Structures are given as C-alpha cells and as structure tokens.
Amino acid sequence: MWQSVFVLAALLALVSSQAEMKLQKKMALNIGVQWETADPEVTYYRHFKGRTSLNTSTGAMTIRGLNRNDSKLYTPEINSIETTPTLLTVLAPVPVPKVTASCNEEKSSCTLTCDGNLTDVELVIYNWKSDDVSLRNSSKDHHVEKEESLSVKEFSCQLENPVSLESSEGIANPFITDTTPERKVNINTGLMVFLSLLGAVVLLAVIHRWRAGMWFFQKESMPWEADFWSKDERGSRDAETNGTTTRRERGGDDEETAMT
C-alpha cells in the first residue's frame, strides 16, 4: 500500500510539474518585459530584446523600430494585478501621391485621380486642392467641369493618415491649352515695356521743361546740341539787338528831318 501511495504521489508530482512548466512556457510567450523589485535587472523576452526599454520609476515601456507585428493589446500587470490594457496599432506612412487626369473627347470634363502605393497603408484620407483652396471632396477621384474650372491654374491632392501627411505636385489645369498662358505672358510683357518707355519719355520732357524753361518742341535746336538743354537766352539777346537798331534808325530819321 505504501508503494502504491508513493507511486500515486510521484505521478501527482509529475503531473503538477508538467502543468507548471506549461504555465511558465505560456506566460513566457506572452510576457514582453518583466521586472521585480528584488532584481535590479529588467528581463526582455523574444523580439522585445534590444529595442525595448522599461522605466522602472514610471512603469512606461518604450518600443523602438515598430512594425506591423507589434500591433497587439498590451496589459500591464503590477503585483499580479492586471491594469487597463492598451491597444497598439502600428500604421505605415502614406506615400507621396501623384495626380493623373482623364478627360472626355470634347475635353469638357475630366476626372482627376490621386494615385499612390497604399499597400499595407491603413486609415487613409484623401484631400483635394484647386490652387491653394481646399475642396470638400475626400475621395480618390475628383471630377471637374470646364465651365467651372477655367480660373484654376492647377490641382493637387494629399494623402493623410494619423501618422503622416504627403502632398502631390500640382498638375496644370487640363482645360487650359499650352498656348494660352504664353500669349498672356507676351501681351503683359509688351504692355510693361511700352509703359516703361512712355514713362521715360515723359520724365525727360519734364526735366527738359524744368531746365530749358520751355517744352522741347518749342526749341529750335536739336537734342544733341548744347542749347537744347539750356534756357533760350539767344532770343532775348536778338530782341535787345533789334530794339537798339530800331532806335538808332529812328534817331537818324529825326536828324535828317531837323536838317531839312
């Protein structure tokens, strides 16, 4: 009987030992970081080794180099008491998008598409802009009409999720031809040159009027002659000379009359 009791006790001990080993193994598979006050060293398990740190003062655990496999529910346990769990969701950043246009044959309407490699990218939001104005559309495709978009120079889109934001380069308004902007630029440039030359001529005329005392078209001299930019004193001298000659002639006539 004692032998049977010993064998039974041995079997119970073996079963208990195996159950404990399975429990410890199961716990080891689920534990990421462990620290006990009696042990100053922090123990890190599995893929948490080398990229995880535990602040033993605050209990904060930091994981570096996150990947999608880290998206799990993490539950802190203090003195064998579980506290509020935290759900960690690892998101990939959005790529830089590119806008493409597809128009009908008449080119009266177009569909703009915001493209990007969104493999493994979640919670993506689309945003559209016409020039610098944000639009209400938040879908991948944006439909535009010619009559409503002639004043717009370019369109662009944005991809956004909770961890990143990327913008595309602007695409020119598909309803505006390449020659139209160039013609406008040439007209504007010619007008500016004309106004600049006209302003220079007016300025020179005013300066000449101030220095010469009369307008340039009243001068007998040419612009390359010195008298053109000086006040007209020759006219005054000629007038004085004519007055003197006239007086002399009158004086001679008087003398001849007296002698007669």
Q: What is the pLDDT of residues 203-257, one digit of tens each?
A: 777 776 676 666 666 666 666 666 666 665 454 444 445 554 445 545 455 444 4
Mean pLDDT of the chain: 75
* pLDDT, tens only, 153-197: 999 999 999 999 999 999 999 998 765 444 455 567 778 888 888
The three-state DSSP-derived secondary structure of 73-130 is EECCEECCEECCCEECCCCCCCCCCEEEEEECCCCCEEEEEEECCCCCCCCCEEEEEE
pLDDT of residue 223: 65
CA distance 248 to 113: 100
Q: Is the pLDDT of residue 8 over 90?
A: no
Name residue 254's amino acid: D
Q: Is the pLDDT of residue 126 over 80?
A: yes
* pLDDT, tens only, 54-103: 888 888 889 998 888 888 899 888 888 888 888 998 999 999 999 999 99
CA distance 84 to 74: 9
What average pLDDT does this structure show over 94-121?
A: 94
pLDDT of residue 37: 81
Contact yes or no for 169/156 (Cβ under 8 A): yes
Name residue 136's amino acid: R
CA distance 105 to 218: 65
